[in-house]
């Protein structure tokens, strides 16, 4: 399945598609959640929520 199909499924509330996207971007989200060399778990969670919100709002 290509990314466009995966995104479309995630927009239609397919839990597995959302999990797949989160897993694909996990390393980037973790990298951005590190502040002064320490993982901020709350920030990581907010970044995950923001990604899911952006998927919902994205127009295909």
Segment 9-24, tens digit of pLDDT: 999 999 999 999 999 9
Structural domain that includes position 45: 23-60
36 within a domain of the structure (yes/no): yes
Check whether 60 has a pLDDT greater than 80. no
pLDDT tens per residue, range 26-41: 999 999 999 999 999 9
C-alpha to C-alpha distance for 41 and 46, rounded to whole angstroms: 9
Spatial distance between the Cα atoms of 31 and 40, rounded to a whole number of angstroms: 10
Token pair of 37 as six digits: 């060399």
* Residue 57 clears pLDDT 90, i.e. is over it: yes
* 56 part of a folded domain: yes
Q: Is 2 inside any structural domain?
A: no
Helix (H, G, I), strand (E, B) or coil at 15: helix
Q: How many domains does the chain have?
A: 1
Q: Is residue 1 part of a domain?
A: no
What is the spatial distance between Cα 52 and Cα 20, in angstroms, rounded to a whole number?
11
- The token duo for 11 is 């927009």
């Amino acid at each position: 399945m290509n990314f466009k199909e995966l995104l479309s499924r995630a927009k239609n509330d397919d839990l597995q598609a959302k999990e797949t996207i989160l897993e694909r971007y996990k390393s980037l989200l973790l990298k951005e959640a590190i502040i002064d060399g320490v993982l901020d778990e709350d920030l990581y969670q907010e970044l995950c929520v923001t990604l899911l919100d952006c998927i919902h709002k994205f127009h295909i």
